[in-house]
Structure 1
Amino acid sequence: MLAGLAIAAGYAVGGRQAKAHLDHPVSKWYDRAPLLGGAGGAVVLWIVVRLINGDVSALYIVAAVVGGALVGTGLGVLAGRVAKKRAQVHIDVRPVAAAAVAAVLIAEVGWILFKDLINKVEWPSAKQRIPFPQLDVVTGSALQVGGVTIQRSAIFTVAALVACSVLLWFFINRTRLGRGMQAVSQDPDTARLMGINVDRIIVVAFALGAVLAAIAGVSQGLQNNNIEFRMGFLAGLKAFTAAVLGGIGNVYGAVVGGLVLGLVEAMATQYIPGQFGGSTWKDVWAFVILILVLVFRPQGLLGARVVDRA
């Protein structure tokens, strides 16, 4: 939050003192202020909650993080609007120097405060597994359907997949912002000429990706019952494999690729006999599928072949 406000304030100062003597194009950082403010606000409010009470439930922590993100985003929006009204594309060297000095001073003060908070806040340890909060509805006893045992966390994962897929399809195809995102992905220069705010679309795309990644992290935490700093490495590789398998840039292809990859791993675990079967080889078979797709169908299962013409 401090970083976003510092950047926005710096460009506000720069815009007020602007002179068109030197042609130095400046990136529109005030469009990133809401995203930076949301991230900083979540961290700041989480620190405040842990300083007030070191032993709080997971619900209060989630409420603090979400509340801090909302407050920080609001402050970032206000700071960005103030900076946008006063900023200019071509500025002199002096306002850039003033903005840099202001950012350095705020960063230094923030670092001093952060050093004092390191020993006072109970930070999560990255060297050991941390128990993930358990919910009776999601992480209770497994369900027996006929002769098949189904974990409740798996049902939550599938339900989250269906809900996120439907909402993402609706957002991309039925909203003005989603259609603008499609236009930017096809040709950002033409989209800018059509009046689309490309910088804002990029921020929304990153924020949307962060939300989906958070939902995926919750699903994996519910399945593993513990979290650690390495848990996302292999999951990220498999996510890339699923995206390539379905077709890069195709939302439906990513869903189909993930389902196909999961079925291949399950079938390889259950039905491949000998030393090449079992759970220890499921990751190997997943990457074998990736290699085969890259060799024989690089565009993926649902991807379209693109032909470059002179």
Structure 2
Amino acid sequence: MKSNLDHPVTKWYDRGPLLGAAGGAIAFWIVLRLLSPDVTVLYVAVAMVGGAVIGTVLGLLTGILTKPRAQVQISAQTVAVTAVVSAVAAELGWILFKQFINQVDWPSAKQRIPFPQIDVVTGQALQVGGVTIQRSAIFTVGALVVCSVILWFFINRTRLGRGMQAVSQDPDTARLMGINVDRIIVVAFALGAVLAAIAGVSQGLQNNNIEFRMGFLAGLKAFTAAVLGGIGNVFGAVVGGLVLGVIEAMATQYIPGQFGGSTWKDVWAFVILILVLVFRPQGLLGARVVDRA
């Protein structure tokens, strides 16, 4: 028997928070660009914090407004009012959209955009015993250590983190145990977005500029590091990333001939991934899972 909660109208309950959050963040960014076209460190900080706060609030409000009820009843009057309001909103939105297109200095997707520089992080490189260490690399390693420790503590030592593990294993059973699966999913998306933002800032500081393709290969490397260390193991992903970096550096430095050099470092990284998947599919630090009948 089909429940009333399976009505097609309720599908927007899953999409509402994401659409509201994205719309709020984009609107806040447009307002900042209209007020000040110059990009500074303070500008980026205000954009990140303000966009996250406003987007989260709008996403929560959208989720509350689109929350499914026990019974969904739609009358002809409701449909007519919704159609009229949607038409008027679409028309006004198109007018505002054309004004924003003409007034806002939109970044070009084909050009590299300079990333804001911070003297403490992107200043002159440090010399330690004849070894040159970039400050951005120190920032990246520090962010890695802090984020990995906090993430491990959150997943293994907090009630919400343990609920996240339960949902990842069996969402239906977790729901029967009283875990709010919808809230867990929202927290997981938010946590992933925060970690991705930190990774993006680290890569922007190292490259000194950003472009629309900069995250593609980095995402493949992140997936490779997670599989290499063990899916579901926080410190395994850290070890996998470090092993992957060492392999690329050694392949670039010590493999002679046409199969060496910087052009082949990505090839050797994925070769190691294939070998790990063949001989140890659970990863370097992953535990073997035994299925019992």
Instruction: Give the TM-score taking structure 1 as reference length.
Output: 0.84
Give unmatched runs, 5+ long, in structure 1: 1-19
Contact 1:142 1:152 in 2 (8 A): yes
Instruction: Name the CA shift for 1:304/1:56 in 2 (closer, same or farther; >3 Å).
Output: closer
Offset at residue 175 of structure 1 (A): 1.6
Percentage of identical aligned residues: 80
Once the two structures are TM-superposed, the CA of residue 195 in structure 1 deviates from its matched residue by 1.2
Q: Distance in 1 between matches of 2:59 and 2:215?
A: 29
SS at match of 2:178: coil
- Quote the offset at 1:258 in angstroms: 0.6
Deviations 1:140-188 (A, max 9, x none): 1111111211111111110000000011011112222111111111110
| Residue of structure 2 equivalent to 1:88 | 69
Q: Which structure 2 segments of 5+ residues have no match?
A: none
Contact 1:46 1:61 (C-alpha < 8 Å) held by counterparts: no
Query: Per the alignment, in what secondary structure is the counterpart of residue 32 of structure 2?
Result: helix
Q: Confirm or deny that 1:278 pairs with 2:264.
A: no
Within 5 A, what are the aligned runs for 1:41-120?
Answer: 41-81=24-64, 84=67, 87-94=68-75, 97=79, 101=83, 106-120=89-103
Q: TM-score normalized by structure 2? A: 0.88
Offset of residue 56 of structure 1: 4.5
Question: Which amino acid is the alignment partner of residue 253 of structure 1?
Answer: G
Question: 1:213 — aligned with what?
Answer: 196
User: CA distance change for structure 1 residues 27 and 185 in 2, over 3 Å: closer, same or farther?
Assistant: farther
Partner of 1:128: 111
CA distance in 1, matches of 2:158, 2:9: 30
Q: Residue deviations 1:279-298, cap 9 Å, x none? A: 22211111111111122111
Alpha-carbon distance in 2 for matches of 1:28, 1:106: 21
Distance 1:93 1:26, change over 3 A: same
The Cα of 1:256 is off from its aligned counterpart by: 1.1
Shift of 1:235: 0.8
Supply the AA of the counterpart residue of 2:235.
Answer: Y
Match for residue 120 of structure 2 among 137, 143, 157: 137
Q: Does 1:194 align with 2:177?
A: yes
Give the structure 2 partner of residue 7 of structure 1: none
Which of the numbers 271, 276, 284 marks the counterpart of 1:293? 276
- The structure-2 alpha-carbon separation of the partners of 1:104 and 1:289, relative to structure 1 and needing over 3 Å to count, comes to farther
Q: Which is worse superposed, 58-67 or 256-265?
A: 58-67
How far apart, in 1, do the equivalents of 2:4 and 2:23 lie?
35
Asked if 2 retains the 8 angstrom alpha-carbon contact of 1:30 and 1:83, the reply is yes
Question: Is 2:41–2:118's contact at 8 Å kept on the other side of the alignment?
Answer: no
Moved more, 203-212 or 65-74: 65-74
Distance 1:124 1:244, change over 3 A: same
Task: Name the CA distance, whole Å, in 2 between partners of 1:285 and 1:224.
Answer: 23
Confirm or deny: 8 A CA contact 2:230 2:285 kept in the other structure: yes
Shift in Å, 1:304: 2.5
Contact 1:24–1:90 (Cα < 8 Å) also in 2: no
Determine whether 1:151 maps to 2:134.
yes
SS in 2 for 1:144: strand
* Aligned counterpart in structure 1 of residue 186 of structure 2, from 181, 189, 203: 203
Structure 1 letter corresponding to 2:203: Q
2:186 and 2:169 mapped to 1: Cα distance?
A: 17
Secondary structure of 1:149's match?
strand
Structure of higher RCO (CA pairs closer than 8 Å, 6+ residues apart): 1
Deviation at 1:254, TM superposition (A): 1.1
3-state SS of the aligned residue for 1:269?
Answer: helix
2:226 matched residue in structure 1: 243
Aligned residues: 289
Provide the secondary structure at the position in 1 that maps to 2:132: strand
Of 196-205 and 101-110, more deviation after overlay is shown by: 101-110
Q: Residues 140 and 286 (structure 1 numbering): CA distance in 2 closer, same or farther, change over 3 Å?
A: same
Q: Is the 8 A contact 2:20 2:59 kept in 1?
A: yes
Give the drift of 1:24. Answer: 2.5
